[in-house]
Amino acid sequence: MKFDIITLFPEMFKGPLSESIIKHAQERGLIEINFHQLRDYAEGKHKMVDDTPYGGGKGMVLRVDVVDAAISNIKFLISKKNPKAKIRTILLSPQGRKFNQNIAMQITKYDNIILICGHYEGFDERVRNLIDEESSIGDFVLTGGEIPAMVIVDAISRLIPGVLADESPDNESFMEKDEKGNYLLEYPQYTRPLEYKAKKVPEILLSGNHAEIERWRTDQMKKRKS
Does residue 94 have an active-site annotation? yes
Of 158, 172, 186, 188, which one is the catalytic site residue?
158
Query: Could you tell me if 17 and 47 are in contact, meaning their C-beta atoms sit under 8 angstroms apart?
Result: no
pLDDT digits (tens, 9 = 90+) for 145-176: 999 999 999 999 999 999 997 665 665 655 67
Task: Calculate the CA dihedral of residues 91, 92, 98, 100 and round it to 10 degrees.
Answer: 90
Q: Give pTM, 2 decimals.
A: 0.88
Residues of the chain with pLDDT under 70: 166-175, 226
pLDDT digits (tens, 9 = 90+) for 112-158: 999 999 887 789 999 999 999 999 999 998 999 999 999 999 999 99
Question: Which residues is 12 bridged to in the sheet?
Answer: none
Does residue 178 have an active-site annotation? yes
CB-count burial class (<10 Å; 0-12, 13-18, 19+) for 128: middle
Is 170-226 CATH 1.10.1270.20?
yes
The CATH number assigned to the domain with range 2-157 reads 3.40.1280.10
Does residue 10 have an active-site annotation? no
Domain definitions of the chain by residue range: 2-157, 170-226
Of 178, 212, 214, 219, which one is the catalytic site residue?
178
